[in-house]
Amino acid sequence: AERSSRRYGDLVEAHAQLTQEIDSRKALEAELFEARKLEAVGRLTGGFAHEFNNLLTVIAGNLDLLEIHLSEQEPLTYMHDARDAAKRGAKLIQNMLAFAQRTRLEPKVTDLNALVTDACNGDSPSLHGGVELDLVADPWPVRIDPVVAEIALINLILNAREAMPPDGRLTIRTENIHHDPIADKALAIEIGPGRYVRLSVTDEGVGIDADALPRIFDPFFTTKPIGQGTGLGLSMVMGFMKQSGGWVRALPTEGQGTTFELYFPMAATGVCAPKARPDR
């Protein structure tokens, strides 16, 4: 009876381990399926985007030539509307290419503090006011495409603006960090250990719904009303960060706002002298 009892206990333990292994395998298979699906979508997106972008270039170029040769006000209005539509289409295509990780990047050693400051001092009124900068004194140099990085940052700022009340504050922070895979196991799945500059964008909005959180970086997914969002902004940010060897993640606190963290690997070579500026 004692041997039978021990044997039964062993069988129960083995069954539990087998069940855990089956569950783990199912989870890995689901992740692999999702990765392959996104890869297929990325290939389709990249091919379509390149072809369509060529068409938009021809349209926009011919509209510019027509505008030069036309002088009547009404035809010029039509030209302006058509050209603006072509530009919006080109921007949409650029976002699709970024998601597909097929954007032709021009990386250079960059000071993230300078990039953040320039973006917040840009021409768009929606980027001004209610923004608090908390920038590390001497950011490590990163090797990225500064133009695409600024577009990604502006995307996050505009999304945060829409999620906050008019008097809400937005905080943009830069930090030098040593990523420890043991200390942050979730992040270790996506990037390796080492030195990174973390760029954080924190808003005082309503946060992200738990059901929407797993899908926010999916292409064409949006919580905005129809006609008010393409659903490509965050997927563009994700594509750019992957292509740059980094990662982006969202840390929402429902009802209290959201923090988006962008991890840029420290540049292996090059010297980046930061501009002198106040921290805030």
User: End-to-end distance of the chain based on CA atoms, in angstroms?
Assistant: 75
Encode pLDDT of 8-49 as tens digits. Answer: 888 888 888 888 888 888 877 777 766 666 666 666 566 666
Q: Is the pTM of this model over 0.85?
A: no
Share of the chain above pLDDT 90, in %: 21
Q: What pLDDT is recorded for position 42? A: 62
Q: Which of 129, 206, 136 is nearest to 170 (CA)?
A: 129
Burial group, residue 59, by CB count within 10 angstroms (0-12, 13-18, 19+): middle
- Measure the CA dihedral 177/218/93/257, to 10°: -60
Provide CB contacts within 8 A for 96, sequence distance 6+. Answer: 45, 46, 48, 49, 219, 232
Type of residue at 251: L
Q: What pLDDT is recorded for position 218? A: 78
Q: What pLDDT is recorded for position 209? A: 79
Contact indicator for 212, 163 with CB cutoff of 8 Å = no
Rounded CA gap, 25 and 86, in Å? Answer: 47
Mean pLDDT of 91-120: 76
Encode pLDDT of 61-82 as tens digits. Answer: 777 777 776 766 666 666 777 7
Q: What pLDDT is recorded for position 226? A: 55
Residue with tokens 């500059």: 197
User: Sign of the C-alpha dihedral, residues 262, 266, 267, 270?
Assistant: positive
Pairing relationship of beta strands 247-253 and 108-110 according to DSSP bridges: unpaired
Task: Locate 266 and state its tokens.
Answer: 């420290």
